[in-house]
Structure 1
Amino acid sequence: MPRAHTAIWRDPALPQVESRRACHSRACYKPHSHPTFSIGAVDVGHSRFEGAGKGQERLGPGTLVMVPAHRVHACNPDPGQAWSYQMLHVDAGWLDALREEAGLAGYGSAEPARICREPGVYRQFTALNTLLFSQATPAEKQAALVAFLCDIDVRAYAPLTPAPSLAAPTLHRLLATIEAQGPSHLSLDALAQEADLGRYQLIRAFRAATGFTPHAYLLNARVNRGRQLLGEGHPLAQVAYQLGFADQSHFQRVFKAHVGVTPGQYRQG
């Protein structure tokens, strides 16, 4: 029988968010509430959820629940069974300020919990949580958090208006700023200020113009430059340093995620 285990992620650089992963858990919870906005996801098994205003609902793998702050709820595995789940907690004040900045103020704040069974949203949430537990930079994690939280509000509540357009001079200026930064130093706040947009509106506008978020664009550009340098025979440690990665292992993880092989395998091949 698989052993139950739980992992909790926190980072003093991102005090507004905390995440948990629980595997093969049989723990049960009485009805309770959190001072945070919470998102739970069922990975394996089934659970019984109360708090969505529809009595008790059975949740299967790939289902998300989004619980406003102070909303009483309970989520427990089927009787006698284990389940695996993820749980994200976001500071309610920080989220309210983000929603106001993005033009989404008031959405979801006074409603029952929401249940989402869309596979794409589950995949996005899992990718976000994987990023939070990784060695990615706090700036990259915050940008992904901003994008995901606002995306789910837009999907649930707000008719999707066209993304703001970036004038060619503004886009070129942003690209130059991004490409001049190391992955550890790129600031979503600074880019938004340079474009005179909110953080989420910048992400939407930049995605519409390039197909990437700003952080994803930078990592993709760094990987392409890394392929060139490795192909020229430069040592791996030198390439990682030249491209601005915090350490060699971070570069290796990013490179493999983009290319499918490690930098060493790419250079040998």
Structure 2
Amino acid sequence: MHCASSEIWHDPALPFVESRRACHSRACYKAHSHPTFSIGAVDVGFSRFSGAGKRQVRLTPGTLVLVPAQRVHACNPEPGTAWSYQMLHLDAQWLQQLRLEMGTPAADAGEPARIVRSVELYQHFCQLNALLFSDAGVAEKHAALVTFMGDHDFSAYPALEAAPIAPLGRSVLGQLIEHIEQAELAELSLDSLARQADLGRYQLIRAFRAATGFTPHAYLLNARINRARQLLRQGEELAEVAYRLGFADQSHFQRVFKAHTAATPGYYRTAGSPVLGLLCSPSRRFGAPTSPLPQVQRKT
């Protein structure tokens, strides 16, 4: 039986990108969203992607899934099985600027998730991620990332069911989200949110979930975890992060963080430097690349 292992890469010199790869993982995620554009790749095993309306999509080895910022989703192994995967997160504003530079359309709030079954794109993604986890220089990694995003038109791939249209007005929804993100966990009041939206409590929960994929409380937890990731990358102590974000105690923070990220806050804080080494031999991965990215050659 294989031992599960995972590693996370990030670099303060490249704050707009973070990557993760896991081998033989059985960990499962709660439904969540990121403030980033995310690219996932299935290396070994099979998983179920939820984020396409009410249905799930089965992902096979060599499949990529493209998840827009703020799209609620989860991707978990099939019951009783393990899988190996990679996940790349790109800051939404950084990507928006890159798209403007390239003259491609900017993302909108209803941008759909996409499933890509292309061996060539999967191999290029693996090559890029291997470079990010390597000891290559910052400039080389930055150039490879820009090149990869510029070389591929992700909008050409089939879209999954679009995100639901919010029954709440955009201004009302924006005000509710701002209120929730500024609230303390223990102080979030469903009554006050309902009054602010001029809706009954049940109507509010249904409308907010239709607009965001979350209940108001789940949205707050997800926002707190995304903020926690930022603070932990900056080296903040766990107890301080838990206190700043309004968790009851460090144990509560750890449970919620792990449910959303499949990693403990302590592991996440120390991950990324130094690089822990390759987890899965490339030869064991589906369609493993045998040559470097053609656009960015390593110097010898």
Q: Which category of TM-score, normalised to the shorter sequence, fits these structures? A: 0.5 to 0.7
How many residue pairs end up in the alignment? 165
Q: 1:155 to 1:106 in 2, by over 3 A?
A: closer
Give the Cα–Cα distance (whole angstroms) in 1 for the partners of residues 14 and 7 of structure 2: 17
- Name 1:82's counterpart in structure 2: 82
Normalised by the length of structure 2, the TM-score is 0.52
Q: 1:139 to 1:54 in 2, by over 3 A?
A: farther
C-alpha displacement at 1:4, in angstroms? 0.4
- Name 1:35's counterpart in structure 2: 35
Identity fraction in percent = 65
Give the Cα–Cα distance (whole angstroms) in 1 for the partners of residues 81 and 130 of structure 2: 25
- For 1:91, give the aligned amino acid: D
- Name 1:230's counterpart in structure 2: none
Aligned residue runs from structure 1 range 1-269, under 5 A: 1-53=1-53, 55-107=55-107, 110-153=110-153, 156=156, 213=295, 215-216=296-297, 219=298, 254-255=299-300
- Name 2:213's counterpart in structure 1: none
Give the Cα–Cα distance (whole angstroms) in 2 for the partners of residues 110 and 146 of structure 1: 24
Structure with more relative contact order (C-alpha pairs < 8 Å, separation 6 or more): 2
Q: In structure 2, list runs of 5 or more residues that go unmatched.
A: 158-292
**Secondary structure in structure 2 of the residue aligned to 1:143:** helix
Cα deviation code 1:55-96 (max 9, x no counterpart): 211001000001000001111100010000000000000000
**Secondary structure in structure 1 of the residue aligned to 2:153:** helix
**Secondary structure in structure 2 of the residue aligned to 1:33:** coil
- Name 2:274's counterpart in structure 1: none
Q: In structure 1, list runs of 5 or more residues that go unmatched.
A: 158-210, 220-253, 256-269
Give the Cα–Cα distance (whole angstroms) in 1 for the partners of residues 54 and 149 of structure 2: 24
Give the Cα–Cα distance (whole angstroms) in 2 for the partners of residues 2 and 50 of structure 1: 26
**Secondary structure in structure 2 of the residue aligned to 1:69:** coil
Normalised by the length of structure 1, the TM-score is 0.58
Compare CA radii of gyration and give the structure with the larger one: 1
C-alpha displacement at 1:29, in angstroms? 1.1
Q: 1:14 to 1:105 in 2, by over 3 A?
A: same
What is the alpha-carbon root mean square deviation over aligned residues? 2.0
Give the Cα–Cα distance (whole angstroms) in 2 for the partners of residues 212 and 79 of structure 1: 38
Cα deviation code 1:121-161 (max 9, x no counterpart): 0000000000000111111111111111122236627xxxx
**Secondary structure in structure 2 of the residue aligned to 1:51:** strand
Cα deviation code 1:87-127 (max 9, x no counterpart): 00000000000000110132576322110000000000000
